[in-house]
Amino acid sequence: MQALVALCVLVGGYLSSARGEVVGSFQDIPECLDFFYQGKVPDWGAATPGAARLCQRFKNSYHFATLYDTHHRIAVYSAYRFQTSDGGGREKRWFVEPQLVDLNWGTEMRDGYWLGQDNPGIYLGERQALNEDYTHSGFDRGHLNPNGHHAVPRRNATFTLTNVVPQNPKLNQNAWRVYESQLTDLFNAKCAHAFVLVGAIPSADNWIIKNNVKRVNIPEYIWNAYCCLDNNGRPIHSGGATALNTEQNRVDQRTLTDLTGFLQQYTNSPVGELFLNNCEA
């Protein structure tokens, strides 16, 4: 009997830890830690009120991790591993996270339109942005984890509204797009593996407003950090960037140390390391 009880506890614990996409800690799902260098989750953003940890699940696999700010309805950051693109097309759907509506719902991201059709009368947008929030807003759905840094199906999985922020169209389609392309060239030429964080710093009070309701915060800055490894898994290069989310259309490239100092301006807590040992061997 004791052995049976122990087995039930073990199985129950396993099912609890494998519960789904919205987790209490990224450590709850080991596959989710694969998107952080050496499994180290940064302290940055951990104390964000209402933060949700999303292990982004699509087609029965985990593809990246997102720390999501349910108050501002934008991501604090998305963490991913770079993949060389296979040239697949852009996803035409926009997904939402069912478990931000009800923790008992499915673990996979869903097309927001069809999730709404399947659950009439239930509002999906209390804790996340919806596609209609961006419609006619004047802002792009700016990917944090960019689709161009992945092959299919991971490329498709980046089209979740929990991975985008309202981004100035001029910045998104010009300087930031160029920067992402430069990273693609760098990672393909010099890195056997690359771990990346891309985040947003919310504005004090600048929002997409729908029907007189503040729906989605318009970030003040977009930022990026990366850690590049050789074939033996040793760090060989790192860096980052920040961009004011305006028509200024400028990306400032930074060292990780510079970036940490920049982020420190927006928190009263120590930023800490974005990557283990600051991506140093």
> Domains of the chain, with CATH numbers?
21-279 (3.40.570.10)
pTM of the model: 0.92
Tell me, what DSSP letter sits at residue 209?
E
Output the pLDDT for position 171: 98
**Which secondary structure element, helix H or strand E, spans residue 142, and what is its range?**
strand 140-143
Assess contact for 216 and 226: CB atoms under 8 A.
Answer: no
Rounded Cα distance, 265 and 250, in Å: 20
Decide: 150 and 163 in contact? Cβ < 8 Å. no
Per residue in 17-57, pLDDT (tens digit) is 334 479 999 999 999 999 999 999 999 999 999 999 999 99
pLDDT value at residue 87: 79
Which residue ranges in the chain fall short of pLDDT 50?
1-20
Q: How many CB atoms lie within 10 A of CB 65?
A: 26
Give pLDDT, residue 20.
42
State residue 5's pLDDT score.
37
